[in-house]
Amino acid sequence: MKRVEQQIDYLWEALQHPDVSGFEMLEFLDVRSKLAIQEPLLSQSERSRVEAIDRQFLRNAPVWLERIRDVSDLAAMRQKARVLPSHWWWYLDAITQEIMEVCAGRA
């Protein structure tokens, strides 16, 4: 099995367990960033799987953010790791805040 396939399988499996720890979610973000570097080389099938992972990740964003907040400050981790702005998954705190503001505006 190729390394890319292993990374994709890892990400998908992690999302199937909402009880993962914050440390595991930080590892998820790191693996997703490693995969992003390889995205131009992915097959169409692999890209489709990554898109499905991203959609599932976003659906449960508040849960994942809580897990991360239990163990770390996401903004501080992002700054320390010098995360690229294109790696949106590291901005889960900002994304979740935006979602909450939009939902509150509709109420």
Among the listed residues 92, 2, 5, 8, the one whose alpha carbon sits nearest the alpha carbon of residue 50? 8
Per-residue pLDDT at 77: 92
Per-residue pLDDT at 107: 52
Cα separation values, 14 from 7, 8, 77, 104, Å: 11, 10, 20, 30
Q: Are 43 and 1 in contact (CB under 8 A)?
A: no
- Express each pLDDT in 26-62 by its tens digit: 999 999 999 999 999 999 999 999 999 999 999 998 8
| pTM > 0.85 | yes
Per-residue pLDDT at 18: 78
Rounded CA separation 23/12 (Å): 16
- CA 99 vs. chain centroid, Å, equals 16
